[in-house]
Structure 1
Amino acid sequence: MRKFLAKSPTVDTLLVFAVVFLAQRLLALLAPPAVDVFALAPPLDVRPWTVVTSVYAHSDLSHLLANSVALAFVGLPLERTTTPFRFHLFFISTGATAGVVQVATKSLVAEPVPVLGASGAVFAMLGYVLTGNRIASGLLARLDLGPGAQLASFAGLAAVVTVATGSPGVALVAHFTGFLVGLVAGRLGVLDVSRGTRRRRENTTYK
Structure 2
Amino acid sequence: MIGNGDPERGSARKHRNQTYYTGGVGAYDMDYHDTHWTSWLVPMIVLANVAMFVVIMFVNNCPKNHDGLHGDCVAKFLRRLSFQPLRQNPLFGPSSSTLEKLGALEWDKIVHQNQAWRLFTCIWLHAGVIHLLANMLSLVFIGIRLEQQFGFLRVGVIYLLSGIGGSILSSLFIHNNISVGASGALFGLLGAMLSELFTNWTIYTNKAAALFTLIVIIAINLAVGILPHVDNFAHIGGFLSGFLLGFILLARPQFGWLEGRNRPADTRLKSKYTVYQYVFWISATILLIVGFTVGLVMLFKGENANNKCSWCHYLSCVPTSRWSCDN
Normalised to the residue count of structure 1, the TM-score between the two structures is: 0.71
Aligned residue type for 1:59: A
2:43 corresponds to: 11
Which residue, out of 172, 175, 178, partners 1:114? 178
Are 2:247 and 1:182 equivalent residues in the alignment? no
Are 2:186 and 1:126 equivalent residues in the alignment? no
Aligned residue type for 1:133: L
> SS where residue 52 of structure 1 aligns?
helix
User: Quick check: 1:58–1:64 contact (8 Å CA) kept in 2?
Assistant: yes
User: Quick check: 1:59–1:117 contact (8 Å CA) kept in 2?
Assistant: yes
Query: CA separation in 2, counterparts of 1:5 and 1:82?
Result: 7
The equivalences for 1:134-149 within 5 A come to 137-138=201-202
More deviation in 97-106 or 71-80?
97-106
More deviation in 98-107 or 158-167?
158-167
More deviation in 28-37 or 52-61?
28-37
More deviation in 38-47 or 69-78?
38-47
Number of residue-to-residue matches in the alignment: 176
Query: CA separation in 1, counterparts of 2:201 and 2:159?
Result: 22
- Cα distance change on mapping 1:185 and 1:64 into 2, 3 Å: same
Query: CA separation in 2, counterparts of 1:180 and 1:26?
Result: 35
1:103 corresponds to: 171
Aligned residue type for 2:156: H
Query: CA separation in 2, counterparts of 1:202 and 1:160?
Result: 33
Which residue, out of 36, 47, 53, partners 1:21? 53
- Cα distance change on mapping 1:138 and 1:191 into 2, 3 Å: closer
Task: Tell me which structure has the larger Cα radius of gyration.
Answer: 2
Normalised to the residue count of structure 2, the TM-score between the two structures is: 0.47
Q: Once superposed, what is the RMSD of the aligned Cα atoms?
A: 3.5
1:7 Cα deviation (Å)?
Answer: 5.0
1:115 Cα deviation (Å)?
Answer: 1.2
1:182 Cα deviation (Å)?
Answer: 2.2
Are 2:133 and 1:65 equivalent residues in the alignment? yes
Bigger strand share:
2
Aligned residue type for 1:61: V
* Identity score, percent: 23
Aligned residue type for 1:28: N
Aligned residue type for 2:102: V
1:89 corresponds to: 157
1:41 corresponds to: 106
Q: Deviations over 1:154-182 (max 9, x none)?
A: xxx99955652222210011111212222
1:71 Cα deviation (Å)?
Answer: 0.6
1:129 Cα deviation (Å)?
Answer: 1.1
1:147 corresponds to: none
Greater relative CO (CA pairs within 8 A, separation 6+): 1
Give 5+ residue unaligned stretches, structure 1: 140-156
> SS where residue 167 of structure 2 aligns?
helix
